[in-house]
A and B are shown apart, each in its own frame.
Chain A
């Protein structure tokens, strides 16, 4: 449904995208993961036709997206990273203005506004001016404003930035409902837990290049182990540091050592036996499943939030 073919984009001396190719199928909840400045927003802007790629093409349902032909944008709802609302107007006024740019009758538009307000749970705040809203409410209205024309494709560019956990959950539920209703979503984030929770499939982007892609399971399979050991820093564990390092890929953090074991432990008893062998008490050890964060670290040698 959305096909990105070898897209490159340069801003002055910065290469924002380097030959990016992706395919997102209809009804997918696709995640685009990467640290800040990786090129996620640039790619989204090219998909919606806001930016023109220097090279490559984007196809929506087989039709090439061109920045000077805005008709394809009817199919897309773009939730921008910045709150793109008129702060001095009410929620209702904002929705009426943004909804007016699509081919709705007055009645249809009013119905769409009602549905959107219900979806983002802001029915009772429709007459309030946006600048009086909390950050989470603004984010939800920001999403509502992008859904008024019932788009087939929804592009969400980090829609939860600066949002409290409660509002974040509400946004997640809303997006999952939209996906369940058959909408295709592309969701950018640098929070791996968000991608893990929401997306069926994802791509990891870094320095303008797609470095990996697939389902969560496929990405974690890139690691040779699915577990990570966190060993609390104490006098006892520090004394065993030489032995600990032999267990796998070692990294040191403020309060703990992290080991990605050399061996894939399908049975944890084997792991504990190995720990006992080197004299490490299991009370200092926490085992966690490998995450996308680990995948990113594995692929780039950097943490996502560096």
Chain B
């Protein structure tokens, strides 16, 4: 075993049939597994101009190459498809137990096409795959669906279930796919694709062994990383407010320090991503008031309101995804906070807290718990939904929409009870909720009246809770990554933490530097961007986790794990070459689908045009066009974003011969 099974499962919902395709080894050596394998198959299979909600679109569930090999923090599963939000490449990444479950059925991925004539769910193990009627499940939320299917199919081993809630059933373009009681692959509108196919759930209960070529070496690397994670813990006297103070100092500093990413792991262990709530707000990372404000607008009361110690106080157990030794998740008891509506919930992630706090000027964490659980159950992306609400409030404030449009709702900054009512309407597609359930781009176009100018999105995808005015590389990623509007692909911060230059020959060193130096278009910043993008494709091909990734290549030794699992004899540069190949294939996918690579450029507001007048980002403007030009240059793409012929040759993308490449043929 080399970490992959060499097989994928195909499901045609129109024909209600399944079959297995064997994948040759050269595909894995060219694309790894995970999102790389998906890029190869989806480029090959989805015809140009396919309707994302039609039968030709393919919804891929993929595992990572290192998942199940004994490598730790390698349990992410990914969904890839043609995104109905952007019309281009879409993918989303989630933890839980679904990634190993795919492999234990004997596959590296499950690829679903066609449209079912009735609600169905897929049940598979290592012997067979069957489509079963799901009429009785249609209408249930994702957690109810998971519980029902668990009870129905749990014989010996606990099955793994992914499903859609009401948002996916209603083909909301901001819906996702849910597993493990509310963890959601939320981005790119993947839930809408599943809903359009009337595929309610996938239940996996295989028990095949998994593994890599050299388990002794893999385990040794895992022990080394785990020992470091175990050693670094925060003393109890360190509170959330101290971390927030650290963010304040970082915000005031004219320098960006060179930090060891391992120092973030104790935060993740203690609080999870919410540990950064106050820090992000204070340093200018959290977008405020639909990207128009700064922390100065409400300063200390905000930081106190979102203190992660409030959330930790509700935690009844830690939650680890499969193979994770960090354990950033947690289950909270929230019945007191939700008037008894919900008893337990995954603790809200930073993205969710910020989406329903800084972005909409909220300070009501109790309401955030309820919104978090409500949206997780419905299967709706909290980031996108938060942006829709922020846009609606600003539009209401400016008189572009009125109570006649909102079914009587009076929308105000910080009024989370009304926001909750608006979200309920979006989940049910009721009244204004029907107009807004497809994200801020379509929602604002439907309303019109110049409200589109207030809609913060990149090619249809709402950006994350990380401010591009703080992190210029992030602005480039938001604008021209193959999945625009996404924060996970790369940033100045991630680049500095991953320390790629220690293992990759062409990655520029990044030590202590002035913040000012990041706001210049240069070959060096472009190379950092390219390296971040390529490395993230490698990590997503392996099934790795972003949070472990930012501990740094010297700790989270992805290249070494891959070598131990495959024995291919590849160097880090070789793996980065694969990463570039995956990214370029996704770009070719977008071009094949008619996407203009420059059309998703972030709104001027997100680039600091005009700049903010107060707060840590005061006066900051990102020269995004010039940075994009430099990035395309080092990526070997022309100034329109099309990969050049010599780049395709250098990357060996001839493996796609026969496909519709580069808009030709």
Asked if A and B bind, the verdict is no
Binding site for B on A (CB under 8 A): none
